[in-house]
Amino acid sequence: MANVAVIGAQWGDEGKGKIVDWLSKRADVVVRFQGGHNAGHTLVIDGVVYKLSLLPSGIVRQGKLSIIGNGVVVDPWHLAKEIEDLRAQGVEITPANLIVAENAVLILPVHSELDHFRETSNSGTKIGTTKRGIGPAYEDKVGRRAIRLIDLADPDFLKSRIENLLQHHNALRRGHGQEEADGEALFAALSEIAPKVLPFAGQVWRKLAEARAEGARILFEGAQGALLDVDHGTYPYVTSSNTVAGQAAAGSGVAPHAVGYVLGICKAYTTRVGEGPFPTELTDATGELIGTRGHEFGTVTGRKRRCGWFDATLVRQTVQTGGIRGIALTKLDVLDGFPEIRIATGYRLDGTEIDYFPASPAEQARVEPIYETMEGWSGTTKGARQWKDLPAEAIKYVRRVEELIDAPVAILSTSPEREDTILVRNPFAD
């Protein structure tokens, strides 16, 4: 039985939470391997809505081990609150079913404050971040001045790490015209939160090695989407981590061959939050209708998502960079009732047809999508659990998507409910 890595194949918000939750029924361990609490996942289980942004989606299932890997940046205050909120909904969370990598980097108030300073400044490029400190925390990780979860267990060492960190941050704060951060106040805040999060700290790499030796099935849960990857996405309008499947190994402490089957998640249309290029964006009534029917507002920020037709060129590219072997196509029901549906099959750049999305921001801004128009369907796909329940035109649409992206649809989601899913191919059996 293969392990499975789940990644977003677009700009995030593809419905990974539901798919990961659905797959976690067949998994023993669920691992988050990158990102932070900027990744919103909404799960609807038996009519109960669970909103997660840091904890793995498997946490709502009894008998599953949830892991936050070393590739994730962790806000300890948010972690404690998310645990508290889920417990209030009846979800049991203890060190027995949740482990956080002891070498995971912490997101601190100075990180979210720096994020805010940059995004609200009148100078520089506005990326459209969630202002939650994700990027600045990764910067400190690469700069070797970050504070990690395990550092909370050694107060004397923690003080020295804070001093080193603030030498850098206070220089930045002065440059933004802000007061310097108080090292003693930060130490006090971290000392107060430490007892709430340290019990979950552990050697994730060792636990995953033991799980693999026992034959456990592991589900690696990505955040955001491949088009927001810091290397392969629409730079500079990207997140601050690698979101492709290759990060599953490095971000959790397993060998690359342990990752197994890569499942990409994408909507039957396209959405994006924040700034950056979006070739198929619809700013008309059709775009508004898709957004309204799809409830396209961010789980974390509540920001309205930009909506557009399915872009097969972009997804085909993420299939290649992400090593995606199968696709979970979500929100097909949002397209119910459209008389015509369009798919972007390529682009026109300065009069020349191309079959890829260029890396140059200037060229990205100039590309024009080349559309193929398909007949829509008047019937409903909502709640369908078998192929025979789908209108013929909907099946044709799915098959055409498969052809254009060079990857099969392994799972088809027809509503937010867990069981409203058509399983074409079981990734764990591959």
Give catalytic residues, as residue numbers: 13, 41
Count Cα neighbours of 296 within 13 Å in the Cβ-side half-sphere: 25
Is the Cβ–Cβ distance between 216 and 208 less than 8 Å? Answer: no
DSSP string, 161-222: HHHHHHHHHHHHHHHTT-PPP-HHHHHHHHHHHHHHHGGGEE-HHHHHHHHHHTT--EEEE-
Place of tokens 């002891």: 102
Taking alpha carbons only, the member of 236, 368, 376, 361 closest to residue 313 is: 368
* 104 contact partners, CB below 8 Å, separation of at least 6: 68, 69, 70, 72, 73, 74, 148, 149
Phi, psi angle pair for 91, to nearest 5°? -90, 125
Q: Where are the beta strands (DSSP E) in 243-316?
A: 261-267, 270-272, 306-308, 310-311
- Residue 346's DSSP bridge partners are 370
CA distances from 133 to 76, 115, 119 (A): 12, 5, 11
Closest to 55 measured CA to CA, from 46, 41, 47, 372:
41
Give me the residues paired with residue 30 across strands. Answer: 66, 219
In sequence order, which residues have a C-beta less than 8 Å from that of residue 167 and are 6 or more positions away?
none
- Angle, helices 392-405 vs 312-322, to 10°: value is 50
